[in-house]
Amino acid sequence: MTGDRTKATTEGAASAMLDAVAGWPAEKMASLMVESTPYSVALGFRYVSSSPGFGSIMLPWRADLVGLDGTDILASGAVTALIDHTCGLAIMAYFGTRAAPATLDLRVDHMRPAAAGASVIASAHCYKVTRSIAFLRAEAWDVSRDDPVATAQAAFTLNRRETR
């Protein structure tokens, strides 16, 4: 019984928070998503831009995110996390708080290592949205967008919340 009460309290608090931010401008919501999500904060992501269905985030280079000691190259896992979060940003920029997206499928092609000591920027866009799934393409680059570090295809489930 206690578990049911805890779940109801948690859901009620989440619902109240979503109601409180529902009227915020989309760009403010998008930047908040990047600046306050715990793993985004831990990795040091920086909001770049967003518009409905599009999003960009930067992962600044940090020594603790290097994949192999002595290489000064960002770990591929950090780049994958950046791409995943950027896809979520594109969805949130499209739907706002109603989306509640979750990664369903993420295929990342790591094309080359990032340049030593370089930050990486990722951009994603929703190219198709159904009632329950958003399909996205993303790319990440360091020096030039014309020479990507990685590209990705993704599908996210849309656990849409009803508007009141």
Establish if 11 belongs to a structural domain.
no
CATH code of the domain containing 121: 3.10.129.10
Establish if 15 belongs to a structural domain.
no
Establish if 1 belongs to a structural domain.
no
Reported as a single tens digit per residue, the pLDDT across 122-148 is 999 999 999 899 999 999 999 999 999
What residue type is assigned to position 97 of the chain? T
pLDDT band at 21 (very low <50, low <70, confident <90, very high): low
pLDDT value of position 34? 87
If we measure between CA atoms, which residue out of 64, 55, 4, 65 comes closest to residue 32? 55
Sorted by sequence, the CB contacts under 8 Å of residue 46 that are 6+ apart come out as: 34, 57, 58, 59, 60
Reported as a single tens digit per residue, the pLDDT across 94-129 is 887 677 889 999 999 999 999 999 999 999 999 999
Domain that holds residue 98: 26-158
Find which of 4-8, 17-21, 87-91, 160-164 is predicted with most confidence, using mean pLDDT: 87-91
Q: How many domains does the chain have?
A: 1
Residue 64 DSSP label: G
Establish if 14 belongs to a structural domain.
no
Asked if pLDDT for residue 164 goes beyond 50, the answer is no
What gap in Å lies between CA 157 and CA 108, rounded to an integer? 18
Establish if 10 belongs to a structural domain.
no
Reported as a single tens digit per residue, the pLDDT across 45-98 is 999 999 999 999 999 999 999 987 778 999 999 999 999 999 999 998 888 767
Establish if 9 belongs to a structural domain.
no
Establish if 17 belongs to a structural domain.
no
Largest CA distance in the chain: 57
Establish if 16 belongs to a structural domain.
no
